[in-house]
Amino acid sequence: MPRMSAAARTYLSRFVPLTIAYAVLVFAAPYAIWAWTAQGPLLWLIAALPAVPIIGMFWCIGRYIVELSDEYLRLLEIRKALVATAVTLSVASIWGFLEIYADATHLPTFFIPVIWFGGLGVGSLVNLVIEREAAQ
């Protein structure tokens, strides 16, 4: 198994704490809103807190791409991000039209980053297929 690059180690040391912070805040925010009967600016602040680690995750991915010294690995990561973006925008477009014309249930926008992160998995599969075809 190949050794993990310095960029990958740095990425994980940034990304994992943000993921933990997100998980904690997703559960803590509604509890805090309920416990403090938050209203007004405090309500808005607490409700927005779970988004902060997500913003940090996007920053981490961007830094990882910049810090990769291997240009080929950088290409693979950029392709994954482009595929994830295409998947996300496609799902958002389709679902938006379904909401307007077919009375589909409204999809809360906080699902958009979740779809994007899932799209990274699709991007990984695209990279795998392209790599296999190139090796033949």
What is the residue type of 76? Answer: L
What tokens were used for 29? 């925010």
What is the average pLDDT across 64-93?
Answer: 97
Question: What was the pLDDT predicted at 3?
Answer: 85
From the CB of residue 121, how many other CB atoms can be counted at a distance below 10 Å? 13
Task: Return the pLDDT at 29.
Answer: 98
What percent of the chain has pLDDT above 70? 99
- Residue 1 pLDDT: 63
